[in-house]
Amino acid sequence: MKNDLQKILLNENDIRKRIQELGLEIDRHYEGREILLVTLLDGAIVFAADLIRNLSSPLRLDCLRVSSYGNSTDPETAPRILSSLKSEVEGKDVLLVDDILDTGNTMQRVSEEVLSKNPASLKTCVFLDKPDRRQNHFRATWSGFFIPDEFVVGYGLDYAGQYRQLPYVGTLKPSIYEK
C-alpha cells in the first residue's frame, strides 16, 4: 500500500499533536457541557475515535452514514444521507465530525438536516480542510489541517474502500486512480 503513495503529507506525530490541540479547543468552548458528537461515516471514524479520547467534556456519540464519493476521487454533486440519528437532537449541543471538508456540500447538507431538528447549538470539526475546492461558503468551526487540492488517503480516508488503515495521510500516485 505504501508503494501506491506519491508522498506522505501528514505523519503520525503531527496528527496526534493536532488532535490533542483540537480536544483542548473544543473542551474550552463547551466548558463541560455535554456534547452530542455526530460522526459522519465511514471516513471520519478514525479521526472521531482519536478526538473523543482527547476530550474531557461529557459526550454522547451518534453516527450518520453519508455518501459523498462512491468509488471516485470527486465528490458526488448531491450528498445522500443514508441513515438517521438514534439520538434526540432538540436542545442538544451538537458537534458534527467529518474527515474532510472538500466542496462543502456534505457538511452543508448534514448541517441543514441537523438544524431542522432544533439543536441548542451546532458546531463542526473536520480533520482535513481543502478550501480551494469549496463550492459554497461553508466553514468548519474547527479544522485539523488545511491541505492543498490533492487526493489524499490514510487515517480513515479511502480510495475505493482501501487505505483507511494507514496511520498517516498521503497522496496517491495518479496511476492508481486513473486506471
Number of Cβ atoms within 10 Å of the Cβ of 171? 18
| Chain centre distance of CA 23 | 14
Query: Contact 127/47 with Cβ under 8 angstroms?
Result: yes
What is the rounded distance in angstroms from the CA atom of residue 167 to the CA atom of residue 163? 9
Active site residue 102: yes
Max Cα–Cα distance, the chain, nearest Å: 49
Catalytic residue, chosen from 50, 62, 93, 102, is 102
Q: How far is residue 25's CA from residue 9's CA, in Å, rounded to a whole number?
A: 24
**Residues noted as catalytic:** 102
